[in-house]
Amino acid sequence: MTTTQAPAPDHPKTASDAGDRPYATVNPYTGKTEQEFPFLAGDEIDGVIETAHAAFLDWRRRTPTERAAVVKKAAALMRERQGDLAALITREMGKRIQEAAGEVQLAASILDYYADNGPRFLETRPIDVLKGEAVVVNEPTGVLLAIEPWNYPLYQVVRVAGPNLVLGNTILLKHAELNPQCALALEQLFRDAGAPEGVYTNVFLRIADVEQVIAHRHVEGVTLTGSERAGRSVAQLAGKHLKKSVLELGGSDPFIVLDAPDLGRTVKAATMARMANTGQACIAAKRIIVLDEVYDEVVAGLQQAFSSFTPGDPADPATTLGPVSSERAAQDLADQVQDAVDKGATVLAGGGRPDHEGAFVHATLLADVTPEMRAYREELFGPAAVVYRVADADEAVALANDSDFGLSAAVYGSDPGRTRAVADRLESGMVWINQPSGSSAELPFGGVKRSGYGRELSELGMFEFANRRLVRTMPATRQAAPAQHVGG
């Protein structure tokens, strides 16, 4: 089998442009490398896939209820291990400990959702036909490769694992190089929940070995959360080998403020929408677009809020600003901010890096950002936001849509008809009205434009890698006319 070097992702959620980084726990608060892990050897990859395929042949024969019981047990174990898992997330990627605990709870709720609802989603569905009978049977397809990022080490993984394990597929997980211990903890969790060997397998893959996995005849699909460049590379490989792919890529989400009758609530929501997970979220509100009539009041509130964040130990519950995931990620974000400042942007709060050990960047608020600046087009993946003043709703919509991304958006205002009219004009996969963009198990998640394709979560996420097989039955007592032949 011939393999080629897949281009390295260019986004801080995934690997470096220089090639493979080692799988290692590097504490972003201390900068210390705590533990390293070896790559899976190239000559071992086919054997791992064969084991996953053999497991699939047995796993698919179990009933959805039996498979759901394993996922339900995994949710319970996740809650039992919340303290250890949260501490591990904090140590490997710097998430503040309260947010890490919240991620564990969210991940467990997703597993519960698919354990409780998956068997119902998979029930055979009848189709109304003029003669005879027709049904759609929902069946698994096989081994899947999941390439997942570091920013939500548990949540991102269970969005794929929960529905697909209940469906009957088996999973190979290539986690981010920053999260090796989180990856191993998840593998152990599913094993302890009763998943047979090969049903859920962690693989410490080199980037150059990704094509070998995708190309394997027993791998039926690949899903990736990461950068636009990584998505382009994976989509190209999947297309080359005729494999189904789902991509959740970057975002530069707008947060539109039409009016602010409750100024404090609006400012708090915008701040949370930008600063959750230290700004390291695809659906973070990276562009805050405010109508002129309330701009000054909203910006004054944002300045005060952003200026209140102070760096500290993410394991300390009193800390309000944790580090970003790595020294490189901190410097990349600082460079984007500096580029904007050099070209005339105004720093309303923060700016640059604090004099503090660790991978910290000030909570930064920029204004007067223009198209020639990197911050106008690029995703700012960390605690930095851009605020824009616009004259009216039409200008707000035009600015919001002037982006290569289309993941999520939020619209705030007091008039339900006006907010919905604005929301309906936004080019995004998701839109939230009077609530920051978020995620919940029952809500579909995904984007348009260069934010990717496909959906995770909700009932929709159950079927991205399902064979929705048609079964058409006619009475055997007389010869049925053949169906009209159309297409391929």
The catalytic residue among 92, 182, 282, 427 is 282
What is the C-alpha to C-alpha distance for residues 125 and 365, in angstroms, rounded to an integer? 51
Q: Which one, of 84, 61, 64, lies nearest residue 72 by Cα? A: 64
Phi, psi of 291 (to 5 degrees): -65, 145
Q: DSSP secondary-structure letter at 34?
A: E
- β-strand partners of 472: 134
What span, in angstroms and rounded, lies between the C-alpha atoms of 173 and 189?
Answer: 14
Distance CA 321, CA 306 (A): 10
Tell how strand 133-140 and strand 466-473 pair up.
antiparallel
- Residue ranges of E strands in 67-160: 125-126, 133-140, 143-147
CA–CA distance, 2 with 215 (Å, rounded to integer): 9
Residue 479, judged by CB atoms within 10 A of its CB (0-12, 13-18, 19+), counts as: exposed
Quick one: which of 263, 266, 226, 261 has its CA closest to 246?
226
* Helix 82-93, helix 64-80: angle, nearest 10: 70
In angstroms, the CA 348 to CA 352 distance is 12
Taking the C-alpha atoms of residue 249 and residue 277, their distance in angstroms, rounded to an integer, is 17
Q: Are 407 and 250 in contact (CB under 8 A)?
A: yes
Catalytic residue among 92, 103, 248, 456: 248
Q: What's the burial of 401, exposed, middle or buried (CB within 10 Å: 0-12/13-18/19+)?
A: middle
Task: Report how far residue 117's alpha carbon sits from residue 460's, in angstroms, rounded to the nearest whole number.
Answer: 12
Task: Tokens 């497991």: give the residue.
Answer: 55
Residue indicated by tokens 């608060």: 29
Told to judge if 248 belongs to the known catalytic residues of this protein, a careful annotator would answer yes
In single-letter form, the type of residue at position 232 comes to: R
In whole angstroms, give the CA distance from residue 28 to residue 357. Answer: 9
CA distances from 223 to 18, 19, 157, 247 (A): 23, 21, 10, 6
List residues with catalytic annotation. Answer: 248, 282
